[in-house]
Amino acid sequence: MNKISFTIILLLTSCTTLFGQAKIKAIKAGKLVDVINGRVLSNQIILIDNNKITEIGASVVIPQNAEVIDLSNATVLPGLIDCHTHLSSEPSEDYYADLFRSTTIDMAVKAHIYTERTLLAGFTTCRDLGSGDLVDVSLRNAINAGTIEGPKMLVASFMIGSTGGHSDFTGFNPNISFVGNKDFTGVADGVDEIRKRVRNNVKWGADVIKFCATAGVLSEEESVGAPQYSFEEMKALVDEAHMWGKRVAAHAHGTEGIKRAVMAGVNSIEHCSIIDDATINLMKEKGTYMVPTMYALDYIINNFAQKGFPEKIINKAKSIAKQKEEGLVKAVKAGVKIAYGTDAAVMPHGLNAKDFGYLVKAGMTPMQAIQTATVNAADLLDITAKTGSISVGKYADIIAVIGDPLADVTLLEKVKFVMKDGVVYKNETTK
């Protein structure tokens, strides 16, 4: 063998070793939260090849070329899932400036800040439930391409709703136009128009369909929870979405609108603020998920006056606060399926873990609260085969905290380690 050939072989061997070190990782987990079985395992090794988990156990042999990540002083959990976000926006300190001076271009140039903040908070997957001008679709695509950092995203594009409803502007001078292209909106009335809006959203890249079954808090209708679609309209929307293989999320605060949406076959009720025993039983019977979004309402009550929001909006939030808390307690006690969601954008992105404390206060154990943001959320989003637990064959979406989140669930507000798809984005476990 000549000198040149020998040198080439050495270089190839070195490259293979380097690639191997970059590709294979082994996490030493002091504690591992098994969300599928509701237990905690000690001294586990998680072996990762590229972006997938290949082996888990106390006696796993770590390959010589593996990069070892020592989390033996931490509690390791699956990456968290937020089923209700709006990653393209966040309210400024001026409500009317947001309405009249900001554009979706302003939203787009800031959105990468919010996605990175969310990921570093430990949320490796998010469902984004509504954005203007397809900013959410572009955001999802940029994250998937590796252009910007953020969680995996499932997006809804335009939020569908009735004329004058929660997804339409009300109370303003009729000469002010917020919509340029009449087809580039989610406002729809009647069965045929609603079906077309669903098809448009699918065409433009929506992963999920979101609509407004009732009035809302952050809009200027008189009611906070009155129905805004008939049962026939809701049923047509759900049937159309399901025909296209898309799950449906219904924004709904009031009992009658919630009931209609559940009967129409939606997959989840977002907010679910005012709910009676009969509707709770109906949700349980139909297997409909509740996505509570608790902290956002408190944030509105305590912070939105300083941001210049109309007193009417803040009073609407106050009017449902007690009923919302009571409804969640009843739903937990009754065994309604609950998936984690925050409505992040109403409150600052990165504070997504605040809702865990509300769930525990409502009667859940810390383990059950964690399951809402892992196995339950993955089930709602139909991604159980990919993520939602630390399991062989799933994506290496893994986080860690220092301490025991089953003793103090608020530790999830201080995530120290974040891995998404086998890539480490944050490691502060030694600080």
More confident call, 170 vs 417: 417
How far apart CA 290 and CA 260 sit, in angstroms, is 14
Model confidence over 281-303: pLDDT tens digits? 999 999 999 999 999 999 999 99
Residue 184: the pLDDT is: 81
Most distant pair of Cα atoms in the chain: their distance: 86
**Mean pLDDT, to the nearest integer, of 318-347?**
97
Q: Is the separation of the CB atoms in 245 and 273 below 8 Å?
A: no
Q: Is the separation of the CB atoms in 82 and 118 below 8 Å?
A: yes
Strands 24-34 and 247-252: unpaired
- Number of C-beta neighbours around residue 61 at 10 A: 11
- Provide the residue ranges of all domains of the chain, joining segments of one domain with +: 3-78+391-427, 80-381
Model confidence over 204-221: pLDDT tens digits? 999 999 999 999 999 888
Q: Is the separation of the CB atoms in 35 and 389 below 8 Å?
A: yes
Model confidence over 346-372: pLDDT tens digits? 999 999 999 999 999 999 999 999 999
Please give the C-alpha separations between residue 362 and each of 54, 292, 329, 357, 368, in angstroms, as whole numbers.
Answer: 37, 11, 5, 9, 11
Backbone angles phi, psi at 67, to 5 degrees: -85, 120
pLDDT above 50 for 13: no
pTM: 0.93
| CATH dotted code for 80-381 | 3.20.20.140
Under DSSP, is residue 21 helix (H, G, I), strand (E, B) or coil? helix
Model confidence over 26-48: pLDDT tens digits? 999 999 999 999 999 999 999 99
Residues 242, 247, 253, 257, Cα dihedral to 10°: 10
Strands 398-401 and 289-291: unpaired
Model confidence over 72-86: pLDDT tens digits? 999 999 999 999 999
pLDDT confidence of 103, banded at 50, 70, 90? confident
CATH class as words, domain 3-78+391-427: mainly beta
How far apart CA 378 and CA 82 sit, in angstroms, is 10
Residue 211: the pLDDT is: 98
